[in-house]
Amino acid sequence: DQQVKQNSPSLSVQEGRISILNCDYTNSMFDYFLWYKKYPAEGPTFLISISSIKDKNEDGRFTVFLNKSAKHLSLHIVPSQPGDSAVYFCAASANNQGGKLIFGQGTELSVKP
């Protein structure tokens, strides 16, 4: 079941630069998309979300872009900080499925000082 895919298992970025994490999906019924951050031995922490009626949502250093025609979303972090180093998961939801989230495999971001 690969409905949500994050094709880059890892990403390394210099502090202060932009981090771009990518996510693709196949199910056209998905209408809500979320990004979570996860540290080892902790639960996922909600970061930012976007509804399918929008193409951009911004919250401080974090911006999520949605391209519905390409079934692609991305998370931009700018400027990147060492504390952003974690695994980032993309997740998607369809409104007829009781809030069920389908997760991607995750991308491990390393921000180097």
Partner 1 sequence: EPEVTQTPSHQVTQMGQEVILRCVPISNHLYFYWYRQILGQKVEFLVSFYNNEISEKSEIFDDQFSVERPDGSNFTLKIRSTKLEDSAMYFCASSELDLAPEAFFGQGTRLTVV
Virtual torsion, Cα 70, 75, 76, 80, nearest 10 deg:
-150
Among the candidate windows 16-24, 30-38, 59-67, 75-83, which touches partner 1 by CB under 8 A?
30-38
Task: Give the per-residue contact string, 36-75, with partner 1 (x = CB under 8 A; - = no).
Answer: x----xxxxxx--x--------------------------
Q: Are strands 45-51 and 32-38 parallel, antiparallel or unpaired?
A: antiparallel
Say whether residue 21 binds partner 1 (CB under 8 A).
no
Could you give the CA distance from residue 14 to residue 32 in angstroms, rounded to a whole number? 30
| Residues binding partner 1 (CB under 8 A) | 32, 34, 36, 41-46, 49, 89, 91, 93, 95, 97-106
